[in-house]
Amino acid sequence: MDEKRIEQLKKLSEKLSHAFRDFILFNTALTHRSYANENPETVREDNERIEFLGDAVLQLCISDILIKKFPEYNEGQLSKVRAAMVNEQPLAGLAREYRIGDFMLLGKGEENSGGRDKDSILGNAIEAIIGSIYLDGGYESALRFIETSFQPLVDEWIECPLYMDYKSLLQETSQSRFKLVPQYQIVSESGPDHDKTFTIEISINDTTITAGTGKNKKEAEQDAARKALDKLENT
């Protein structure tokens, strides 16, 4: 690694509030497979193995945090909250806050196709960074980073539990069980323009599962998805 790259990594490590001892490890966490494939003479490894580890560390740390934060929640409730917090969208959002895309090493194809702002690449990079922090500083360092970074999500959940992305959870469940994606359809709108109520039905494989209501389409979809998840869990 040249001095310019090391300086870049130092700046990012300051943002992450973790003083890396091993910058080669940190650099690996930011190396996409496409870059490693195009530069085999200078790159030994991409970030996929560290990402695998980081995913497990993230699951453990979030579980640790939620167990302490929500002592009244049962296992099913804790699983739903955790799933909402560690899925691709919030991870990618966190990566954007830290401007992780600016520091990624990407192959030319990914670079040209907007890889620096792809949810999948950014979400995986956050998991790889968590894995690198764990390897560099141990569990307490990883937990400290995750507690700080994910605190806004925990706070938002406390203020508004509907933050949970039930739609994403339902899609994952539906694809796993039925190999199909849920379909959403507005079936009614009622009330004046300034205070409308929307009703949206969810169907899977042309079979209506349930309906939800809300003051806007997003809220109605989330309500319907929540009810559908409850129904599927009991069948």
Active site residues: 55, 127
Q: How far apart are CA 98 and CA 221, in angstroms?
A: 30
